Every structure is written in C-alpha cells, then in structure tokens.
Amino acid sequence: MEIDDESLRLAASAELPILRLLRRSRLPTWAFGAAWGLLLFGIMVLPYFALDMDPSQQRGVLVSALFFSVSIAIITGAAAPVFYGAANDLRELGPVLSIDGEARECLARGLVRATPGQVRLTLLMGVILGIAHSYLLGHHLLPIAIMLPQIGGTMMLWIFMHMTVVKLIINALVFSRLGAVAEPDLLRPSRHAGFGTAALRPALFIIGTLCAYVLLVIGESRPVAEASWIGAALSVISMVGIVTLPLRGIRRRISERREAILRDLDDRLEAMADRNLGTVPPATLRDMDTILDMRERVAQAPGWPLDLAGVRRILLYIVLPPLTWAAAAIVEMMIDSLV
C-alpha cells in the first residue's frame, strides 16, 4: 500500500484543535473535560439566577444546561484517548500490514491531525448546523437572556461533535483500506485485534455522548420536541459507519485467508493417504494428525478482530445506558428540590 500526497500533507499538519487545547492546558483528560463542562454549565445556567421565571421555565434552563455541559464534557474529556488510541492501534498492526514503519507512522500521525482546510470546513459546517438546529428548536422565540445561551450551547455542541465525528469517520476509512490489504494471522489473532479496537473505541465514545440525551426527558410530562433528537439520530447513523468500516476489510481478509489455508491443508491430506487408513505408515499418520489438528485450529480461529478485553468493554458499555437512566432519576430529584 503506497502513501499518497494527501496522507503526507495530513501527517505534516497540526493536531486537531481539541487535542492542541488539551496539550496547552496541561490538564489530565478528565479534568480538561470537566473544566469545559463546568464552564458551559455556568454560562447556560445564568438565566436561572438572573430572571424571574416560573418553575417549569427554571426546570427547562437547568435541564438544558445539564445536557449541554455533560455532552461537551464527554466530548472534550474522551476525545484524546479515542484519537491517540487509534494511532497506537495502527502502530501495533505492523505485523499484519505490508507497509514499512515510516509509512505506518505517517498514517498513524494523520489519525490525530487535520489540515487547515479540513478544520475550516468542519468548523463552518458545525456553525451552520448549530444555527439551523437552534432555529428548528425555536430558540429565536425565547427572551434574549435565555436565547443567547441556548443558541451558544447548541452551536458549541454541534461544532465539537461535528469536528470529532467527521474525523472519526475519516479514520474509519483509513482502517478500512488497511484491512483490505492486511495479512491476518489466524493462529495469533491478537496481531490484528487493533482493527476491532479501532472500531470499538469510537463506538463507545458515541454511546457515551448519546447517554447525555437522557437528561432531556427529566421531569417532562410531555414528549420532548422531535427536533431535539436530530443530533442523537445523526450520531447513531455515524456510529454504524464508524463501527462497520474498520471491520469490513479485515473480516473479508480473515475469511479469505481461512479458506485458502483450509484448502491447502485438505490438498496435503489428500496427497498423503488413500482411503484405506489401515495401510498408511505410522509416520504418515502422525503427520496427518498434525495437519488435522492445525486444520481444526484454523477452522475455529475467530472471524472477528476482537480480543477478550474488547468483548469485556462491550459488555461494560451495554450496562452504561441503564446506569445513566438511574443517574438521571437522581438528578431529577435534585432539580425538583431546587424548583
């Protein structure tokens, strides 16, 4: 696989803005995310203290502030492990990729970087989507003191989410192309497990952001406006592509490699013995037994590039949404006590 000019330009570009901000802050990732969440919460909750509102309006301001602050905290706090983890996954795939170390490092660097043109485009699209979504939600009809924080929070969430998810899709395409030319090791599946991790980690990241939507239904006696779920719907659609793309190529290569090896082993067995096994020499029988054992191991080799640790993480995050609902119930009781 050759490295094209676009990959070289990407590798030479600056890191993603959110990663550069993290480096400059010198904060742990969790503290960086918490700082962003607290900052946004403080801005969006100002109308709660500055305006004379009825309990339902107060509840709406608090719920909205919680939703946006939690969403931003998850994105900013989890982006670095997701992107740097993808780069490390690619580096560890060296044994199954027919590219030299320099080319592999170039691709790995590109997973955490963006060209100036990509940054400007994703920023512009995030602003446009944020304004359009604010209009659909009717933020322009609110009092100005409530309208400005709501529009600002919506735009910020769309900017951060759009810049992050678009890059995750681009990275998924890189792993898809690499998987299509990989040489999987059926006897040592951990060598190509990086493809599974590259699909799993971003999926868990998006699942985490989706859990924040539970906050929108706190204390609501009527259905939440349909426009509020646009972001969630797009996140789910994006997650499908982010998960399937890295696995598509390597899954096909594992299947092709298994069929080729099984075919070669069957040919060797056919050449070693006739139908009457009683006349086969003992040495040949031992060789046949070794080939049969190898054939069984190859036939039972995992067809998915996931290790046991990856499966455990999947099971953990299956439990996450119910835990989020429980946390939402606790938050609802706290809000009730305030209003």
Question: Tens of pLDDT along 281-335?
Answer: 778 778 888 888 999 998 888 888 876 555 555 545 544 554 555 455 555 555 5
Closest CA to 185 of 94, 309, 291: 94
Give residue-wise pLDDT tens across range 193-240.
Answer: 889 889 888 988 888 888 888 777 765 555 566 667 788 888 889 988
Question: What's the pLDDT tens digit per position in 86-98?
Answer: 999 999 998 898 8
User: What does pTM read for this prediction?
Assistant: 0.83
Q: Which of 68-105 are b and which e, b meaning 16 or more Cβ less than 10 Å from the residue's Cβ?
A: bbbbbbbbbbbbbebbbbbbebbbbbeebbebeeebbb
